[in-house]
Structure 1
Amino acid sequence: MTARPNILFVTVDQWPASLAGYEGHPTILTPTLDQLARVGVRYPRTYSECPICIPARRTMMTGTTAKQHGDRSFDPALRMPDLPTLPALLHEAGYQTTAVGKLHVYPPRDRIGFDEVHLAEEGRPHLGGPDDHDIYIADQGFPGRGFDHGMNNNDYLWRPWHLPEHCHVTNWTTWRMCREIKRRDPTRPGFWHLSYTAPHPPLIPLNAYLDIYRDADAPPPPMGAWAQEETAQPYALRAVRDYWAHVKPHHYRQIMQAFMALCTHIDHQLRLVIGTLREEGLLDETVILFTADHGDMLGAHGLWAKRLYYEDSARVPTLLVGPAGDARTPPGSVDKRLVGLADVMPTLLDFAGVESPAHVEGLSMVGQARREVFLGACREDANATRMATDGRHKLLWYPCGNVMQLFDLQEDPRELHDRSADPELDGVRARLEAALVEGAWGADLDWIRDGRLVGMPAREFRGGVNRGLSGQRGHHYPPPPIMDASVVVGTPG
């Protein structure tokens, strides 16, 4: 093992932790991830501090939560904070740093400390650019046609990919990363950030992967007893249900087929990157960390997408493979410590032999320090939701109306039974509530009185009008005009 190993940091977008073969899912095919789990460590209690794309990625790249990096709501016009980033610190330590795929920063061409960035930003030329995947498909003879499939980044429509296979964003991301590995500076260790945009919608898998799942049935989504009566649910949940009310139960099978097809496509393409490392003689000297920014409810409890702290939205897959023979990542092991995305930075710095800055809130996944309670915070309005978990019990708090839910994840991993009113768990509820009070900041301070969570008054729910089809993309040649980057589309509430 070299003193400074190479690092391959792989992220996927909107992939629930449960959707993997090594987790026991009966349908999904993830042979590559399953093998990584056999040769490294998996962390089944990894949560996204704020399960939305931009805040989660700011956390990964700064090792901080929103209290420092500034966004727990999704602000597309917010610059990166004045904090040292993971790639910047590795660059200072002598690494050649390269990112391929999605960064989701503003402005889009901000390299946030990387030496080189090759972007695939899900069709956002209106925020500035250009997007390197858009350039690529234009070079292949399809200028502006990346979204001619008509599907949506924020919805659950599905159809096969419409251009040649090599133009699919998953194939391009893989090809570009393999090329960058081959073009590396041989005198320096490499930090490669491979960031796939799938399985985040649009649901446009290759036909070959739809064929794999054509006769497949995914297990039905869980439906908790607490979720049966929609009008009794917290405001934030009603907003989600209203926004995706058009997604019907009889669509579920085909939605899941398309979603799983996108996952397996990534799994197979990841083999090419690992194969490139092997053929280049780098694999045994490379750390591999695989995770996601957040999950997707995928119909669980009648809910879709992210922004929530139920397991399907907030718990993310996390696999860590150290250099060959590294005792910190024993093959086939399971580490049940509570992990967050803020832990990515100190973990990778740990392998690189770089000390984490004092402001970093994360903990190294291979270190001795453990957290007793993990906190999550998302949004600051009527759709706000908060979480505190000790790994077994999870308290969810909806400030609008001051609604709480409590789940015993050991006895009830699918979160079917809300036990917030169970007197047997009064002590657990009080302890987790106290953790939320202690960790409160910003708007949350107005929702606390005398050391207790009181929230804000309940608000009458009224559904919105979705004229923009959840931020539907159009034809992108000529490119659309630059727009106000602060305008948020494709989100409930």
Structure 2
Amino acid sequence: MSAPAPNVLFISVDQWPGYLMGCAGHPVIETPTLDRLAEVGTRYTRCYSEVPICIPARRSMMTGSSARVHGDRDFQPALAMPDMPTLAQCFRDGGYQAFATGKLHVYPPRDRIGFDDVMLAEEGRGQLGGPDDYEIFLADAGRAGKQFLHGMSNNEYSWRPWHLPEDTHVTNWTTTTAARMIKRRDPTRPAFWHVSYTHPHPPLAPLASYIERYRNRTIDDPIMAEWARDPASLPFVLRAVQSYWPHLPPEQLADMRRAFYALCTHIDHQIRILIGTLREEKVLNDTILCFVSDHGDMLGDDGLYAKRLMYEGSANVPFILVDRKNGGRVPAGAANDRLVGLQDIMPTLLDLAGLPVPETCDGLSAIGTEKRDIFYGECLSSERASRMVHDGRYKLIWYPAGNRFQLFDLQEDPREEINLSGSPEASERLAALKRALLDRLYGSDEAWVKDGELVGVDEPEDKVADNRQLSGQRGLHYPPIPPEDPSIAVGSW
């Protein structure tokens, strides 16, 4: 007699770098829950967000496909999900009940993308449609529209403690709502639960108690490679990022990191409530656990902030996988360095659950025998584009604007401080990775190739960003904010 189908708890976070966990060796961050999951499961150290931007990254997770297939490498808020099987629909087709809590970042926002039901928290995007379930909760609690009265922007790096009662924080709401969904499951069928936390993505407004626990800690200093010290010598894309986010002096930058770490530790502790709920409901041993982020954040490294870059801080993400008890397919305490991406999440979870993987997936199961030799990453299609190929040790980053290259040996230089692209000793490796990159370009990128060579495009003139919207600053959300053109990307640099 075969074992009953396992449940699946798929937890995602927003903007959490892969190195920012105790189990990854970080000297400051407290992540006891994730550390324990890594002890009983496998941590994938070379997991990347193929397109390190919120919407494209989530399309990869939910379709099991790369941007070449799902159609977004830019951030298109009005782009509907492609007509292809989704992760949730595949589980439902396999007899599962499927529920989601938190952020989906799809259009229209109430599109359930295959889930039976979704309790939505969309970071204040009421202008795209709704209703948003978290905002309904705040209204019921007598706090209608007040979630952003802390004054912190959703895309900047000021911080302050959360301004409302602790139980109204979106991290707490997401956990409580997800735990209720677990308790309200149909006991006659297996369940797929997707719990999507909106933090540590700004706004940086953590609970005061979590700020306090980091107050006296010595915070790790940001990376500042020699190649990053002269802004005028940087590729256009990096100059644009450095000019968009203001430079934070050391003390303010350390405090900003404290606030970011506080948001992470808060989530880590809340995950314990989900695990405790599974345990008390007697289903923990029959549940597969998966933890991943959509992308990372540079957090001031090399004078850079946020995502949209191919450096480790932005593109490398945490991915921890735990099999059901005695499942036997995911080794305990392992650190697996195979090249994986967010497009691999869907085929991996379907594989673990014993469900078929649709042909539309071009991702690979992270527990399967087939592995990739090269991981390809891409971001944006304008003059701010960057492309990346990674062979497991060496990473090549290409900036088409100015036809600029950076080559890093991540085995010897994990902090990406030494650009080897001009080194004679690395010339063969550089040439091989350029060929690998050429083989993977498509669409409008082909205009940046001439006679089989990468030629890029001329760098545009530097411009000072006219950031009058303060990068997506939110205001009072009651009465509800008016609708607007959904194709306008709020908060983009």
Residue aligning to 1:116: 117
Residue aligning to 2:416: 415
Preserved CA contact (<8 Å) 1:13 1:197: yes
Give distance in 2, aligned partners of 1:277 and 1:364.
25
Residue aligning to 2:167: 166
Residue aligning to 1:129: 130
Give distance in 2, aligned partners of 1:146 and 1:462.
33
Residue aligning to 1:146: 147
- Which residues in structure 2 correspond to 1:7-406 (within 5 Å)? 7-406=8-407
Residue aligning to 1:432: 433
Q: Which moved more, 1:351-360 or 1:33-42?
A: 351-360
1:147 partner SS: coil
Give the alignment's TM-score, normalised by structure 2. 0.99
Give distance in 2, aligned partners of 1:141 and 1:427.
64
Preserved CA contact (<8 Å) 1:2 1:285: no
Preserved CA contact (<8 Å) 1:306 1:314: yes
1:319 partner SS: strand
Give distance in 2, aligned partners of 1:218 and 1:10.
27
Preserved CA contact (<8 Å) 1:149 1:159: yes
Preserved CA contact (<8 Å) 1:376 1:387: yes
Equivalenced residues, count: 492
Shift of 1:329: 1.1
Q: Deviations over 1:205-264 (max 9, x none)?
A: 001101100111221111111101101111111111111025444311110110000000
Preserved CA contact (<8 Å) 1:378 1:385: yes
Shift of 1:3: 4.1
Shift of 1:432: 1.1
1:320 partner SS: strand
Preserved CA contact (<8 Å) 1:4 1:351: no
Give distance in 1, aligned partners of 2:280 and 2:109.
33
1:469–1:246 Cα change, 3 Å: farther
Preserved CA contact (<8 Å) 2:17 2:318: yes
2:179 partner SS: helix
Preserved CA contact (<8 Å) 2:13 2:292: yes
Q: Which amino acid aligns with 2:140?
A: D
1:462 partner SS: coil
Q: Deviations over 1:95-152 (max 9, x none)?
A: 0000000000001000000001000100111110011100001111101111111111
1:387 partner SS: strand
Shift of 1:351: 1.5
Give distance in 2, aligned partners of 1:48 and 1:372.
16
Shift of 1:450: 1.9
Give distance in 2, aligned partners of 1:2 and 1:171.
34
Q: Which amino acid aligns with 2:297?
A: D
Preserved CA contact (<8 Å) 1:374 1:389: yes
| Runs of 4+ in structure 1 over 4 Å off | none
Q: Deviations over 1:272-292 (max 9, x none)?
A: 000000110111100001000
Preserved CA contact (<8 Å) 2:58 2:104: yes
Preserved CA contact (<8 Å) 1:3 1:353: no
Q: Deviations over 1:317-343 (max 9, x none)?
A: 010000101221121011110010000
Structure 2, gaps ≥5 residues long? none
Preserved CA contact (<8 Å) 2:154 2:201: yes
Shift of 1:359: 2.1
Give distance in 2, aligned partners of 1:389 and 1:462.
31
1:236 partner SS: helix
Aligned Cα root-mean-square deviation (Å) = 0.9
Give distance in 1, aligned partners of 2:358 and 2:450.
34
Q: Which amino acid aligns with 1:233?
A: L
Give the alignment's TM-score, normalised by structure 1. 0.99
Identical amino acids, percent of aligned pairs:
57
| 2:488 corresponds to 1:487 | yes
Preserved CA contact (<8 Å) 2:247 2:303: no
Q: Which amino acid aligns with 2:279?
A: R
Give distance in 2, aligned partners of 1:6 and 1:236.
43
Give distance in 2, aligned partners of 1:193 and 1:435.
35
